[in-house]
Amino acid sequence: MVNDIFLSIIDKNLLTFKNNSLMLDLSKKGGVTKMEWTEKKSVKLSHWCIYIVGGMLLLTMIFMPKVIEMIVPLDAVSLKNQHWFMITLESCLAVGLVILFLLQRLIKNIDNNETFSERNIEILRLASWLCFLEALILLLSASYYFPWIVLAGVAGFVGLVVRVIKNVFCQALLIKTENDFTI
């Protein structure tokens, strides 16, 4: 009961939904200072985040030898394995760039009101397989640098999560198609 009262006060004074957008009243007594966060702004933020992360990946690829010196202690990877270390990082970064490109296409489709579609399902399917490819690359690389096995597990887990989201999109598309045929 107390939580219901507390939530209703917050709902009244802070958060209200208007036209599918969240209105956050930042003033004390219903003044004019309001922050409106819409779906379009969220999509735009996603676009910018993808560009920023993509730029960071490209810079990392360009300055790979310096990055390796910074993140890996010199004695952690033997001289004979530093070449393999660089190949592992470059290949994972390249796959990451492809995944970012796919995410950009997915966000663009969502921005065009094409959320549950065959194209988006295909994008998610490919992204999940690329995550599994990253996991495989890292798992094989654990033969010369054991800590890669942790990142292999993370990449595999992300691939699994993307796969589940793809399955949710498949079910949503079936429901959408069924509803489109219902009179």
- In terms of domains, do 20 and 48 share one? no
The Cα 127–Cα 140 span in angstroms is 20
pLDDT in the model for residue 101: 97
- In terms of domains, do 66 and 81 share one? yes
Q: What is the pLDDT of residues 121-163, one digit of tens each?
A: 999 999 999 999 999 999 999 998 899 999 999 999 999 999 9
The identity of residue 12, as a single letter, is: K
Q: What is the DSSP string of 48-102?
A: HHHHHHHHHHHHHHHTHHHHHHHHS-TTTS-HHHHHHHHHHHHHHHHHHHHHHHH
Residue-number span of the structural domain to which 116 is assigned: 39-181
- In terms of domains, do 47 and 57 share one? yes
Tell me the pTM: 0.75
